[in-house]
Chains A and B, each alone.
Chain A
Amino acid sequence: MPPLPLSPLQSSVSAETNTPAFAMHMPLEDTLGLNLLAANNHQAEHNNEHFQSWDLLCLNLMSSPGAGKTALLERSLPALARELSMAVLEGDMTTQLDADRLETVGIPVVPITTGRACHLDAAMVSGGLKLLQQRLDPSALDLLLVENVGNLVCPAEFDVGEHHKVALLSVTEGDDKPLKYPLMFRNADVVLITKVDLLPHLPVDVAAIRRNIHSINPNATVIEVSALTGEGLDAWHIWVRQALASRTTTTPALATA
C-alpha cells in the first residue's frame, strides 16, 4: 500500500486534487454536487407538472406580515372573477383567519396551516393541492394564487412549483427593505409596492423604493398599488393577464404551430 499523504485529510481527498482515497485509513469520498434543497426542488417540479397538466398559472405571493397580501386578494379576486376561474392556497402559521376573510369573496380557498414553519415548502403546497382536488377539478382553473406565510426571508429560498414569484412591499416598511432582504426582491418577477394611498402621510420616497428594487433586480416589474383606493390594480391585473397569456403561448402545441 502506498504511503499515506501527510496533508490534511480533506485536502488529500478533495475533488480538486483528484488524489485517490484509500479505504483503510482514509475515508472515501463521493462527489455529489447535489443541490441542498434537491428534495424540495424535486417536489416543486412535481407540483409544476400538475400545474402544466391542469393548464393553470400559479403565482406565489410573498411579503412581510401585514404588507397587504390578503387585502390585495380581497380586491383582485372579485375584479378578475368575471373573466378567470381562480382558487387560493392560503399559508398561515397557526390560524385560518386569512382563509376565512377570503372565503367571503366567493373564491375557493384551501388553508395550509404551517405550524411553526415560517414559509410554505413544496410538500405543503402538494398537500394543499390534494385538498383542493377534493373540492374542485383544478383543470377548470385559470389561476392558482399561493399566499405564502408573511416573511421576507425564508420563502425566498423555497420554490413551490410556481410560475412566478410576486413580492409585496408596503410603503410603511421603508425604502431600505429591498436592500435588507435582497434575496426576496432579487427572486421576484414582479414587486407590488402596496398602500400607496398612505404616501401623502409618510416621509418615504417611492422613487427610492423603486431604485433599490431595480438595483438588486433590474428585470423586476414594479407596480404601485392601493387595495384601499384601487389605485394601480388595473396595471397589476394587466400583468396577471399577460402572465397567463405568455404561459399559454409557450405550451409545446402552440410553440410549434
Chain B
Amino acid sequence: MHEVDMTKCLLISLNEWRDRREDTSAMVETVHLDVGRFTCVEPDQLVTTYNAAVQGTWLDGSRLTITEIPFVGRCLICNGTYDPVPENAYRSPCCDHPLEEIVSGRELRIRSIDYRSDAAAALESAPIQRQR
C-alpha cells in the first residue's frame, strides 16, 4: 500500500502550494495527476487513499483525477518506438533489442490544480486571469 505514502507526499506538496500563495482563500476543486503505466501506482487505489486522507482537511471535497500515460520504449537499433510488454521481456519487437530508452511511462507528476479563490474573483473586472 505505497499509495498511502504517495498520498502523504502529494498532501505535503499541496499544503506547500497553499502556503506559497498569499491568497489563503483558495479552494482546491481538482488535482490533476499524470501517472505513467511503468510506475508502481494503481490509480484507483491512489484516488481511494486520497479521498480518505483529505477528509476533515482544507482539501475535503476536492477531487483527484489521474491521466494515465502509456509506457513507450525506443529501440536504439532502428529508432522506432514500441509498447514494451512482459511477454516479450520488454524488448523491442522490431529488432529484439533490450529496453534501453524509455520515452514515457515513468511519469509521477502533479500536472495542475483547479481551484476557486475569493481573491481572484474580486479581480474579475480584469478581463483575463493569466495562467501560470
Contact flag A34-B110 (CB < 8 Å), given A27-B115, A154-B40, A214-B98: yes
Is there a chain A Cβ closer than 8 Å to B95's Cβ? no
Q: Which residue of B29, B33, B39 is within 8 Å of A27 (Cβ)?
A: B29
Tell me the residues in window 105-163 of chain A with beta carbons closer than 8 Å to chain B beta carbons: 116-119, 121, 153-154, 156-158
Is there a chain A Cβ closer than 8 Å to B57's Cβ? no
Contacts of B130 in A (CB 8 A): 20
Contacts of A40 in B (CB 8 A): 5, 9
Is there a chain A Cβ closer than 8 Å to B79's Cβ? no
* Cross-chain contact B115 with A30 (CB below 8 angstroms): yes
* Cross-chain contact A36 with B109 (CB below 8 angstroms): yes
Is there a chain A Cβ closer than 8 Å to B78's Cβ? no
CA of A30 to CA of B38, assembled, Å: 26
Is there a chain A Cβ closer than 8 Å to B52's Cβ? no
Contacts of B109 in A (CB 8 A): 33-36
Q: Which residue of A20, A24, A30, A216 is within 8 Å of B90 (Cβ)?
A: A216
Closest-by-CB residue of A relative to B116 is A27
CA of A217 to CA of B90, assembled, Å: 10
Closest-by-CB residue of A relative to B102 is A186
* Cross-chain contact A32 with B112 (CB below 8 angstroms): yes
Nearest Cβ on chain A to B72's Cβ, whole angstroms: 14
Is there a chain A Cβ closer than 8 Å to B94's Cβ? no
* Cross-chain contact B40 with A156 (CB below 8 angstroms): yes
Nearest Cβ on chain B to A249's Cβ, whole angstroms: 26
* Cross-chain contact A215 with B89 (CB below 8 angstroms): yes
CA of A56 to CA of B65, assembled, Å: 42
Name A residues whose Cβ lies closer than 8 Å to a Cβ of B. Answer: 1-2, 9-10, 13-15, 18, 20-24, 27-40, 116-119, 121, 153-154, 156-158, 179-180, 182-183, 186, 211-212, 214-218
Q: Sort chain B's interface into a size bin.
A: 35 or more
Contact flag A28-B89 (CB < 8 Å), given A36-B108, A118-B1, A153-B40: no
CA of A39 to CA of B8, assembled, Å: 9
Contact flag A182-B86 (CB < 8 Å), given A35-B108, A118-B1: yes
Tell me the residues in window 98-130 of chain B with beta carbons closer than 8 Å to chain A beta carbons: 98-100, 108-117, 120-121, 123-124, 127-130
Nearest Cβ on chain B to A126's Cβ, whole angstroms: 14
Is there a chain A Cβ closer than 8 Å to B91's Cβ? yes
* Cross-chain contact A31 with B112 (CB below 8 angstroms): yes
8 residue pairs, one from A and one from B, having the closest CB atoms: A215-B89, A39-B12, A154-B2, A27-B114, A36-B108, A218-B98, A39-B9, A23-B121
Is there a chain A Cβ closer than 8 Å to B81's Cβ? no
Is there a chain A Cβ closer than 8 Å to B10's Cβ? yes
* Cross-chain contact A37 with B108 (CB below 8 angstroms): yes
CA of A116 to CA of B3, assembled, Å: 13
Contacts of A9 in B (CB 8 A): 114
Contacts of B98 in A (CB 8 A): 214-218
Tell me the residues in window 16-33 of chain B with beta carbons closer than 8 Å to chain A beta carbons: 17, 29-30, 32-33
Q: Which residue of A1, A20, A154 is within 8 Å of B131 (Cβ)?
A: A20
* Cross-chain contact B121 with A179 (CB below 8 angstroms): no
* Cross-chain contact B116 with A215 (CB below 8 angstroms): no
CA of A223 to CA of B12, assembled, Å: 39
* Cross-chain contact B121 with A31 (CB below 8 angstroms): no
Contacts of B32 in A (CB 8 A): 10
* Cross-chain contact A30 with B113 (CB below 8 angstroms): yes
Nearest Cβ on chain A to B7's Cβ, whole angstroms: 9
Nearest Cβ on chain A to B68's Cβ, whole angstroms: 13
